[in-house]
Structure 1
Amino acid sequence: MLSLRAAVQRERHHVETLKQQQKHHEENKRLQFVQWHSRMVGELAENPEALSEVYSEYDLPDKATALRQNRWLCMWSAMHRLGYIDENHLRENAKRFMQDEAGRLYWGIGGDHRERTAQDDHDRRFTRIMNEAYTAVLVGAGAKAS
């Protein structure tokens, strides 16, 4: 017969296993969504009329470029979530992204949407890192203009 200590340890292990399975399931769901999103974006890129409909509410001079910016952000978010890039690498990507005029334009228009639709701590952290890079570039540009 199991001792109380052994039974508690077994239950703890069972709970930890369930937590890991749940985390793995959530990561798989997110990865499937990223794959679906990437396919959809690829199809939009091939259909300029549909692309214009998707971004109709935004004043974007080049909707195809905006779509590419969206794709990069989604990929980096997924890569960071799944551990393929760490936070420092993400910050470097964000900095380079915001140094590009198209990246700043896209984030300036769509960054608040990402903030409003953040699903979890990861999404909020990703958005914060992107916002910090965006603000740093704007502040740097303001200092140069002075």
Structure 2
Amino acid sequence: MKGTKSVLLAGLAIAGVGVFRLAQAERHQRQRNILATIQMHQEWLRHLEDDPETRDWWAPEGKDAMDAHAYARVLHANQLFCALSARHKVGLLDASALRVQARWLMSRSIGRDYWSSAGPLRQGPRPATGSTAASIGSWTTSTPSTRRATPSSETSRLRC
């Protein structure tokens, strides 16, 4: 009877390790997929920055039109926000580090200008609770002394 219990416990331990490895492999694959998607996006943005003709084709038109310099700034800021979001999504930044880096980015005019024009597009209709994005929009309109976003609201809006 004692041997049966030992075999059963050993089997459960092996099964537990197997389940853990499957969960870990799935998490790593999700991270690789996120990084591959972000890499494609970053390459596209670099291509737009380097090729003025292509950048002109994709520049906003109509009421949202902007000059070439302004659009280049928007593209560069988009690269910065997406890189920040990617690092957070794959676990390289925790919520505290994300807040520090997001505040730094929003302290620059390029970050605030970008967020004032693209923030509503990035935030979407209603961000999912617990998503990996940062609520940077509130930092564009508040003063440093009134910026007291909660972790749940800060990690719910920035998307790439």
For structure 1, list consecutive stretches of 5 or more residues without a partner in the other structure. Answer: none
For structure 2, list consecutive stretches of 5 or more residues without a partner in the other structure. Answer: 147-160
Letter of the structure 1 residue corresponding to residue 115 of structure 2: W
Give TM-score scaled by structure 1 length: 0.75
Kindly tell me the number of residue pairs found equivalent between the two proteins: 137
Q: 1:60 touches 1:66 (CA, 8 Å); kept in 2? A: no
Give TM-score scaled by structure 2 length: 0.70
Q: 2:85 touches 2:132 (CA, 8 Å); kept in 1? A: no
Q: For the aligned residues, what is the CA RMSD? A: 2.9
Please tell me whether residue 91 in structure 1 is matched to residue 104 in structure 2: no
CA displacement at 1:38 relative to structure 2 = 1.4
Please tell me whether residue 63 in structure 1 is matched to residue 71 in structure 2: yes
Partner Cα distance (1:55, 1:45) in 2 = 11
Partner Cα distance (1:119, 1:15) in 2 = 31
Partner Cα distance (1:56, 1:98) in 2 = 23
Which residue of 30, 34, 44 maps to 1:30? Answer: 34
Please identify the structure whose Cα radius of gyration is greater: 2
Residue 84 of structure 2 corresponds to 76
Partner Cα distance (2:65, 2:12) in 1 = 59
More helix by share: 1
Partner Cα distance (1:12, 1:33) in 2 = 32
Residue 140 of structure 1 corresponds to 143
Residue 50 of structure 1 corresponds to 54
